[in-house]
């Protein structure tokens, strides 16, 4: 058993909803510093995923559509709420300043900005883990360990627990 860190990341919400393309196009075109070809940009966005950490039903889901180049950077967000059946009951577009928080990883000397908007609910995006990506990483780790064990020892020893 590996010891868990106290500050374990929260899971991403991952609620998905179809994006109302016509309204999204209008919102992008109305935005200062929007994409050059808004229709092209939206081509891959038939569905959008909530990017917040797990949250309650009172909090709107939020998906990021675009960030304009300005200081501080404004982002266009699609915000919505759903009912228990997963149907969307309310939605809106909002231009929100991006969250100024960043994580400085001293070991890797890398900086990661929070990918959410300022005053967003819940944790910063670098504390939110995507369950699908985590699952994939766990599988890669297991596979690597399995190979290391296979190379390292007699195959008959596999499965035997070391105390
Ligand atoms: Zn959500
Ligand atoms: Zn943040």
Domain range annotation of the chain: 10-130
DSSP string covering 94-111:
EEEEBP--EEEETTTTEE
CA of 52 to the centre of ligand 1 (A): 6
The pLDDT of residue 1: 41
Measure the CA–CA gap between 146 and 130, rounded to whole angstroms.
24
The pLDDT of residue 55: 92
Q: Does residue 111 contact residue 105 with C-beta atoms inside 8 Å?
A: yes
The pLDDT of residue 131: 67
CA torsion sign for 146, 149, 152, 153 is negative
The ligand minimizing its distance to the Cα of 61 is 1
Tokens of residue 99, six digits:
């969250």
Measure the CA–CA gap between 51 and 63, rounded to whole angstroms.
6
Segments in the chain below pLDDT 70 = 1-7, 131-137, 152-163
CA of 53 to the centre of ligand 1 (A): 7
CA of 143 to the centre of ligand 2 (A): 33
The ligand minimizing its distance to the Cα of 62 is 1
Of 9, 14, 6, nearest to 126 (Cα)? 9
Measure the CA–CA gap between 143 and 72, rounded to whole angstroms.
43
The pLDDT of residue 95: 96
- Residue 82, phi then psi, degrees to nearest 5: -130, 165
Kindly report the pTM of this predicted structure.
Answer: 0.74
The pLDDT of residue 156: 56
């Amino acid at each position: 058993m590996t010891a868990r860190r106290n500050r374990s990341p929260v899971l991403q919400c991952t609620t998905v909803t179809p994006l109302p393309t016509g309204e999204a196009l209008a919102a992008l075109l109305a935005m200062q510093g929007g994409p050059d070809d808004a229709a092209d940009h939206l081509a891959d966005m038939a569905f959008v995923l909530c990017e917040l950490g797990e949250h309650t039903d009172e909090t709107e889901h939020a998906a990021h559509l675009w960030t304009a180049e300005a200081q501080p950077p404004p982002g266009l967000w699609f915000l919505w709420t759903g009912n228990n059946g997963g149907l969307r009951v309310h939605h809106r577009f909002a231009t929100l300043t991006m969250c100024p928080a960043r994580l400085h990883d001293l070991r890797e000397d890398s900086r990661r900005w929070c990918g959410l908007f300022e005053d967003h609910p819940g944790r910063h995006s670098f504390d939110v883990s995507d369950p699908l990506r985590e699952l994939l990483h766990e599988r890669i780790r297991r596979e690597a360990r399995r190979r290391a064990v296979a190379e390292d020892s007699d195959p008959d020893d596999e499965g035997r627990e070391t105390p």
